[in-house]
């Protein structure tokens, strides 16, 4: 009875809150006064950043239960940040503002906002207590903060077109942004065109100056995470100024020798290097003392810190433009910590920290405890999930043994071509081969994907459950499809020959096909390695990177409100709109693929011996099962749309009991990961993608657009070119753009 009364009161309060919101302009003012971003508000209210933006523009209004929580947040901000006297009624007396950090406001709003019902909502994060939060060293009372100045003349014009740093920075420690690019004359180019004078002429002095005076870094992405360490990017001239060589002699290890004078200087100054040593991405630190974190990241451009396959020609830009590229990436994804693959993995950890501060029941003090929904500790994979050299696999099979599908999980992206003998007469009369590419396919596959959080548990003859992540040994060879279609159960697209190991999304799709088309087959696992603890671990990662991707595309002129014709036209020239932002876009896409790949990082270095453990195994994010689940989901998503497109375009539906399509069905001739090649009468995707009578994309088929999971035009070649590629056993999807897509990072 009491609960019912409280629920009724809460309902009344929510109803009252419908009219409690201040005008849109005031909402924006309150947020900016508190130093909060739209993304932070969205995270606290379990909403999208675009929704918060629309609320502040007055385009839309929040709906319950978010509306009541948003109203309460704005009310609290209004008490702490009252409007100026000129904007207040004459009888109002302004109160003295109370200093409250943006982090504390996010925590408060998280407690107020009840998440809407949905699939496995992310638990509201708990903030770490002030004494447990690791923070960069604050400037000493005697230190003089660096004086910003205008860019040098050669960069002045470019710098004026860049966004200036926000006047309401959420943390004064990071007032000058996340990073700086140091040139040979001691000029440090920061984000937004800000320029500082750096007096340091040695690496130890540079580290000291960065931590004490530069005010560089970025606030944590999660209340229980860590602030991002400042990043200093060294041009070739800056490297020479600091006594570093322009080329590393150790081309294999890519690091300075231990006897180099710069390494000795750091040792004398009591600074330490990580196990990677002083290489293209060097981390220089001292052990944490109390709450003081002392760490600086260096990126040495002449040593190849910015891979051209990812960043294009960014390292050849002017320093101010390099700062713009890296600063944009840092604000939208994460401050770079190495390659984009490393940064992708670091973003997962930053958004889902393994631990949080909890109160000890006995002592009453704060201690470190596991974070719900995160990967909290390293776990060994199941033998079928482990690569050959992993100890759990090496103990079962000798080196050189070729494991069969019944011995190893082989969930990889598509690499399939159709037998040219299966081309129909109608297809051979078409003129063009047209490629379409799924936008950030692995990222789309990660959305709402439930993955295992704990170690594997072996079970015999299990009942398959699509909600349970794991690896399943099951015979799917009895599922017969049209021979022109790629098989969804193997990366090479051919029919499996017997029992094989599959990730949960693959087996779930097999059951979906059996149920939908009433196929005379069964999907009964013989055994499985399952995870008893699971959750949507990658959801925050998906949200942040998808927002980064869409925001960058919007800056390049490609938005979600474009018509299909306008979208194709914008995509034709979007990379030429702003080469710097095009480099950011390339890095974001590489972050996705590289981050997923890092979940199964293989051993590196000539000293490694088969069957030994390697350093990557000791981190919680070494999870080949999660990588397999993402790739499995991406491949299944691709096949589902291929099949739906074929069924939509054939003249008569497939009879119940089998999946044989008629001669008019639109079926690709090649697949390569996220690219599909179709034969068409015209050179555009609009010449073959199916639409409804009112001109909208047919439901369930490929859809042109900018969002992850939608498709874009990949390239067009002549029919004879594509047929010749098939005859020679080559994949047209690899070369449809006129280049080797794999070699160019596609």
What is the full DSSP assignment across 332-381?
A: HT----SSHHHHHHHHHHHHS-SEEEEE-TTT-SEEEEEPTTS--S--PP
Helices (H), 424-563: 425-428, 441-446, 504-517, 539-555
Tens digits of residue pLDDT in 170-204: 578 899 999 999 999 999 999 999 999 999 999 99
Cβ atoms of 666 and 690 within 8 Å: the answer is yes
Cα separations (Å) of 91 from 21, 26, 86?
21, 19, 12
Q: What is the pLDDT of residue 525?
A: 98
**Looking at 334-338, 556-560, 657-661, which range is the least confident one?**
657-661
Taking the C-alpha atoms of 179, 182, 186 and 190 in order, what is their torsion angle to the nearest 10 degrees? -40
pLDDT one-digit tens code per residue, 34-60: 888 888 888 888 887 777 887 888 767
Residue whose structure tokens are 């070369």: 735
Please state which of the ranges 61-70, 108-117, 436-445, 494-503 shows the lowest mean pLDDT. 108-117
For the stretch 153-157, contacts whose Cβ atoms lie closer than 8 Å and that sit 24 or more positions apart, written own/partner, are 154/318, 155/189, 155/318, 155/319, 155/320, 155/321
- The residue ranking higher by pLDDT, 624 or 95, is 624
Report the distance separating Cα 352 and Cα 122, nearest Å: 10
3-state DSSP assignment of residue 214: helix
pLDDT of residue 699: 96
Q: Mean pLDDT of all residues in the chain?
A: 86
Q: Note the pLDDT of residue 169.
A: 43
Statement: residue 167 has pLDDT above 60: no
Indicate whether this model's pTM tops 0.95: no
Asked if pLDDT for residue 65 goes beyond 90, the answer is no
Cα four-point dihedral sign 593, 594, 596, 602: positive
Residue of 673, 276, 635 lying closest to 489 (CA atoms): 635
The partner residues of 369 in beta bridges, in order of sequence, read: 356
Q: How far apart are CA 5 and CA 553, in angstroms?
A: 49
Strands 432-438 and 292-300, by their bridges, are unpaired
State pLDDT tens for residues 360-383.
Answer: 888 888 889 999 999 999 999 999
Q: Terminus-to-terminus CA distance in the chain, angstroms?
A: 60
The dihedrals phi and psi of 287, each to the nearest 5 degrees, come to -55, 145
Q: Is the Cβ–Cβ distance between 643 and 509 less than 8 Å?
A: no
Report how far residue 673's alpha carbon sits from residue 670's, in angstroms, rounded to the nearest whole number: 10
Tokens of 394: 């090496």
Query: What average pLDDT does the segment 707-736 reach?
Result: 97
Burial of residue 459 (CB within 10 Å: 0-12, 13-18, 19+) is: middle
Give the span between the Cα atoms of 646 and 418, in whole angstroms: 15
Higher pLDDT, 415 or 77: 415
Percent share of the chain, pLDDT over 70: 84
Q: What is the pLDDT of residues 209-257, one digit of tens each?
A: 999 999 999 999 999 999 999 999 999 999 999 999 999 988 788 899 9
pLDDT > 90: what percent of the chain? 70
- The three-class DSSP label of residue 101 is coil
Residue 182 corresponds to which tokens in the numbers above?
Answer: 């140091």
């Amino acid at each position: 009875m009491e609960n019912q009364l409280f629920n009724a009161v809460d309902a009344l309060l929510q109803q009252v809150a419908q009219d409690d919101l201040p005008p849109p302009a005031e909402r924006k003012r309150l947020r900016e006064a508190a130093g909060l971003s739209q993304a932070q508000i969205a995270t606290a209210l379990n909403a999208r950043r675009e929704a918060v933006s629309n609320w502040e523009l007055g385009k839309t209004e929040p709906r319950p239960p978010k509306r009541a929580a948003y109203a309460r947040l704005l009310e609290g901000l209004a008490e702490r940040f009252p409007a100026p006297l000129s904007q207040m009624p004459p009888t109002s007396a302004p109160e003295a503002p109370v200093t409250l950090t943006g982090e504390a406001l996010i925590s408060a709003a998280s407690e107020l906002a009840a998440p809407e019902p949905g699939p496995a909502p992310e638990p509201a994060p708990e903030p770490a207590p002030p004494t447990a939060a690791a923070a960069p060293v604050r400037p000493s009372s005697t230190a003089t903060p660096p004086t910003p100045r205008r860019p040098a003349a050669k960069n002045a014009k470019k710098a004026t077109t860049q966004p200036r740093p926000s006047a309401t920075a959420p943390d004064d420690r990071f007032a000058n942004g996340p990073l700086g690019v140091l040139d040979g004359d001691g000029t440090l180019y920061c984000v937004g065109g800000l320029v500082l004078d750096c007096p340091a002429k040695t690496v130890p002095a540079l580290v000291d100056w960065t931590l004490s005076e530069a005010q560089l870094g970025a606030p944590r992405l999660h209340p229980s995470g860590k602030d991002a360490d400042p990043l200093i990017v060294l041009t070739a001239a800056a490297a020479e100024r600091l006594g570093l060589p322009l080329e590393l002699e150790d081309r294999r290890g890519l690091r300075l020798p231990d006897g180099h004078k710069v390494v000795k200087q750091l040792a004398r100054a009591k600074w330490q290097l990580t196990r990677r040593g002083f290489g293209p991405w060097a981390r220089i630190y001292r052990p944490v003392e109390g709450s003081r974190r002392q760490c600086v990241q260096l990126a040495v451009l002449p040593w190849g810190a910015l891979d051209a396959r990812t960043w294009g020609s960014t390292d050849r830009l002017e320093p101010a433009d390099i700062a713009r590229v890296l600063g944009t990436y840092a604000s939208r994804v994460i401050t770079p910590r190495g390659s984009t693959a490393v940064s992708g993995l670091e973003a997962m950890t930053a958004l889902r920290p393994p631990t949080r501060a909890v109160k000890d029941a006995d002592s009453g003090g704060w201690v470190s405890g596991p974070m719900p929904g995160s990967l909290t500790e390293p776990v060994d994979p199941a033998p079928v999930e482990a690569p050959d050299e992993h100890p759990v696999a090496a103990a079962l099979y000798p080196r050189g043994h070729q494991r069969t599908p019944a011995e190893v999980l082989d969930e990889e992206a598509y690499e399939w071509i159709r037998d040219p003998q299966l081309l129909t007469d109608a297809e051979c009369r078409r003129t063009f081969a047209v490629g379409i590419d799924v936008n950030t396919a692995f990222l789309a596959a990660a959305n709402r994907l439930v993955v295992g959080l704990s170690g594997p548990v072996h079970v015999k003859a299990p009942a398959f459950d699509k909600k349970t992540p794991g690896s399943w040994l099951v015979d799917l060879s009895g599922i017969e499809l049209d021979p022109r279609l790629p098989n969804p159960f193997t990366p090479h697209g051919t029919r499996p020959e017997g029992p094989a190991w599959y990730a949960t999304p693959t087996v779930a799709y097999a059951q979906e096909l059996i149920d939908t088309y009433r196929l005379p087959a069964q999907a009964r696992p013989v055994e499985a390695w399952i995870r008893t603890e699971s959750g949507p671990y990658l959801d925050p990662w998906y949200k942040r990177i998808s927002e980064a991707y869409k925001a960058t595309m919007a800056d390049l002129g490609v938005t979600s409100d474009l018509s299909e014709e306008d979208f194709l036209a914008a995509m034709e020239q979007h990379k030429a709109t702003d080469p710097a932002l095009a480099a950011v876009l390339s890095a974001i896409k590489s972050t996705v693929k590289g981050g997923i790949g890092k979940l199964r990082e293989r051993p590196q270095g000539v000293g490694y011996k088969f069957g030994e453990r390697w350093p990557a195994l000791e981190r919680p994010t070494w999870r080949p099962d999660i990588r397999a689940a993402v790739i499995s989901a991406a491949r299944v998503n691709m096949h589902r749309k291929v099949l739906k497109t074929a069924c939509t375009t054939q003249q008569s539906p497939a009879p119940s009991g089998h999946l044989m399509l008629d001669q008019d069905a639109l079926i690709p001739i090649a697949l390569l990961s996220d690219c599909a090649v179709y034969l068409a009468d015209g050179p555009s995707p609009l010449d073959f993608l199916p639409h409804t009578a009112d001109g909208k994309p047919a439901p369930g088929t490929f859809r042109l657009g900018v969002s992850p999971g939608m498709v874009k035009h990949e390239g067009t070649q002549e029919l004879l070119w594509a047929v010749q590629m098939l005859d020679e056993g080559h994949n047209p999807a690899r070369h449809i753009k006129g280049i080797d897509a794999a070699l160019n990072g596609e």
